[in-house]
Amino acid sequence: MIWGPRRAARAVALLLFANASALQAPAQATLRVNTSLVQIPVHVTTVSGASVTNLNKQDFVLFEDGVEQTITHFSRDDAPVSVGVLLDTSGSMRNKMGKVSAAATEFFKSANPEDEFFLAEFSERASLRIPFTKDWEAIAHEIGRAKAFGLTALVDALHLAIKQMKHAQNGRKAIVILSDGGDNFSRRNLRQIRDTLMESDVQVYSMGIYDDDSVKRTREERQGPQLLSDVALETGGREFPVHGLDELPATGAEIARDLRNEYVLGYSPTNGNADGKYRRVKLKLALPGGAPDLRTYYRRGYYAPEE
């Protein structure tokens, strides 16, 4: 079970605790522990972005605040995921909605039967359109009906999504953003949402939909790449920039593959202090000859429990 019913928001990196209770691991396996277990989802790709799925536990080295940790738990199973889809319906998305709908459908086609989804839309306001459901076709249909208008409140949409994630049924959680990435209307600022994300156990994946014609690019599109990249990398997710609308369906399928091809590394921290402080995590690949052509994506830290 996820540690602390009121402090789950402080559990970055899927920080799980069990006290003589069952901890559900991927593929319905059960791991029983009598101490804290930090779990770090990791995605490994080639330079071209292809997933690397043939690594073993000994191929990873984990550090917490500079101290090497012993990896005691390792899996790469296809566990169910709770996914929040954030759809940008601001005016800058007007000519992109058809392809976005196709991309979302490709993403949903790779769903695990136990996956669940919710849909939130945002323009000048963020609103929950469909709460958690396993009926992804209903969400795809709603995306296909969406109309684009107004300004962009992306940060507010992220805040709404994190609140909705409190109702998630699965241990693994992800937010998928379909947007050109800029924000010009949120009541909250990026610093506030970054702090919230760092205290959550949600990975963010973003599909940045940009126009290659720099003359036509909106302010949202000019600011979007950095905003989406920052948000995704902080949480161990990825940003997928899309520079042509025809790329969207394939990108939707690629995000789905990312969610299905994660490793999960677990360790019991050598620092057992329940001080509530942020612990920085660093991961390295220990492969013969090094791994100069591989990229790793993982959550960069978590908050320790607090007495």
Domains of the chain and any CATH numbers = 8-76+262-303 (no CATH), 81-260 (3.40.50.410)
* pLDDT by 10s per residue, the chain, length 307: 444 434 433 433 333 333 333 333 333 333 333 348 898 989 999 988 888 999 999 999 999 999 999 999 999 877 899 999 999 999 989 888 988 999 999 999 988 889 999 999 999 999 999 999 999 999 999 999 999 999 999 989 999 999 999 999 998 899 999 988 778 888 887 777 777 777 778 999 988 877 655 555 566 556 667 777 877 887 888 888 887 878 888 888 888 888 888 899 999 999 999 998 889 999 999 998 777 789 999 988 888 888 7
Long-range (24+ apart) CB contacts under 8 A made by 224-228 are 224/179, 224/180, 224/181, 224/182, 225/181, 227/154, 227/181, 227/182, 227/183, 227/190, 228/177, 228/179, 228/181
What are the DSSP E strand ranges found in 25-170?
30-32, 37-46, 60-64, 67-69, 71-75, 81-88, 116-122, 126-133
State how far the Cα of 237 lies from the Cα of 52, in Å rounded to an integer.
15
Q: Which two tokens stand for residue 181?
A: 């990435």
What are the DSSP E strand ranges found in the chain?
15-16, 22-24, 30-32, 37-46, 60-64, 67-69, 71-75, 81-88, 116-122, 126-133, 172-179, 203-209, 239-242, 263-267, 278-285, 294-298, 301-303
Based on the number of CB atoms within 10 Å of its own CB, is 139 exposed (0-12), middle (13-18) or buried (19 or more)? buried
